[in-house]
Amino acid sequence: MNRVGLQYLAGDLSGGNARCIAMLQAFQEAIRDYSTPPEKTLTRDLTSKIGGFVSFLIECRPLSMSMGNAIRFLKSRIARLPLTLSESEAKTTLCSDIDRFINEKIVLADKVILRHAATKIRDGDVLLTYGSSCVVEMILLYAHELGKQFRVVVVDSHPMLEGQKLLRRLVVKGLSCTYTQLNAISYVMHKVTRVFLGASSIFSNGTVYSTVGTASVAMVAHAFRVPVLVCCEAYKFHERVQLDSICFNELGDPDAISKVPGRVDVNYLDNLTDKQKENLELLNLKYDATPSDYISVIVTDYGMIPPTSVPVIVRGYRKEYLLI
């Protein structure tokens, strides 16, 4: 558990799915190592233990929406454990539940999304993606394996510069790519035929909550009449409604803005006097909310749905997955 927390803190683990899977696997380990103290019931004690772990993780880095959903799932499973089970049986049931969750909701879901999304890619397409989303990367590689001829435009932004990692992985596999920064997006959007974006979560009013800058990409794509496809597993949907990006967000490290990796000439903000420092604030947002009108279709494991159908999935299928 400590190891995972430290990985979050260091930023080694990033991306909704990766963090979620790592967290669930850490919970599995914790459950296997757990033994009920005397005079306490398994369910209550385990739940409070899990709560303790979660607070530790929050200290390292605030939870993403997908992790929140996964934790709720786990707590509800623990609560539903029949009291007749012995401790070891309870533990194995829980571990296998977690395995099934990971398998069905993440791994298999991704496979279904790949198949759906690949039908939307035609030969000669120019696809644009922003930042680094594992689902979008899988889609691009899968379509390339299927033999489709297309080009990729990877758009990146400071300070995370995640696009560079994605770029490297794509070029190694032989896809022809163009790399640019977010500011140049009006310049490249003329040639782009489709935009593929990943999401951290999707809210009930269809708003997509994703890496900061996604909203700008979707807006410019909409202005140029380019279809925007958001690829997101259904377990990330959330019944909240968020109107803009400021009400609920995560702040990153402010010093990351002043440092530019690899460019020594950009050091304007070193050596500030105190007077300067008291007037200057550095704001490093991690997420932003894209309004649903910029999105053409959401590709999930339940199929390809318009943004207005998100509450249907949240209400209707949520019951099903809690019962599994």
Partner 1 sequence: MPDTQALVNDFLNKLKKRKIEGSQATAKQTAELLRSVISQTRMPYTNQASALIHSVKAVGERLIAANPVELAVGNVVRRVLHIIREEDLSLTTAAMAGLNLSAESDDEDDTDRDNHPALSAAAIAAASRSTLRPPSLQTLLEDVPDSAAVPHTSSSGGDSEGKSKSADKSSRSRKLKHDVIEAVNELIQDISTCRELIAEQAVEHIHQNEVILTLGSSRTVLEFLCAAKEKKRSFRVFVAEGAPRYQGHLLAKELVTRGLQTTLITDSAVFAMISRVNMVIVGAHAVMANGGVIAPVGLNMVALAAQKHAVPFVVLAGSHKLCPLYPHHPEVLLNELRSPSELLDFGEFSDCLDFGSGIGAPLLHVVNPTFDYVPPKLRRA
Would you give the binding string for partner 1 spanning residues 208-247, x where CB under 8 A is met? ---xxx-xx--xx--x--------------------xxx-
From the list 86-94, 132-140, 234-242, 260-268, the region that binds partner 1 by CB under 8 A is 260-268
Q: Is residue 65 a contact residue for partner 1 (CB under 8 A)?
A: no
Q: How far is CA 57 from CA 85, 125, 167, 293, in A?
A: 30, 41, 30, 34
Q: Which one, of 203, 197, 171, 172, lies nearest residue 182 by Cα? A: 197
- Nearest approach in angstroms of CB 290 to partner 1 is 8
**Euclidean distance between CA atoms 300 and 232, whole angstroms:** 5
Query: Which is closer to partner 1, CB of 70 or CB of 217?
Result: 217
The residues near 107 (Cβ < 8 Å, ≥ 6 apart) are none
| Amino acid identity for residue 271 in this structure | N
Structure tokens of 115? 């198949």
Query: Which is closer to partner 1, CB of 97 or CB of 288?
Result: 288
- Nearest approach in angstroms of CB 281 to partner 1 is 4
* H or E element at residue 150: strand 150-156
**Interactions with partner 1, residue window 282-321 (CB under 8 A):** 282-285, 288-289
Query: Which is closer to partner 1, CB of 268 or CB of 319?
Result: 268
Q: Which one, of 63, 100, 103, 33, lies nearest residue 248 by Cα? A: 63
Query: How does DSSP assign 21-32, residue by residue?
Result: HHHHHHHHHHHH
Contact status, residue 210 vs residue 199, Cβ threshold 8 Å: yes
**Interactions with partner 1, residue window 168-187 (CB under 8 A):** 168, 171-172, 174-187
Q: For CA atoms 154, 159, 160, 164, give the dihedral sign.
A: positive
- Nearest approach in angstroms of CB 66 to partner 1 is 20
From the list 36-44, 138-146, 161-169, 225-233, the region that binds partner 1 by CB under 8 A is 161-169
- Nearest approach in angstroms of CB 80 to partner 1 is 39
- List contacts with partner 1 (CB under 8 A): 156-159, 164, 167-168, 171-172, 174-188, 190, 211-213, 215-216, 219-220, 223, 244-246, 249, 257-258, 260, 262-263, 266, 268-269, 272, 275-277, 279-285, 288-289
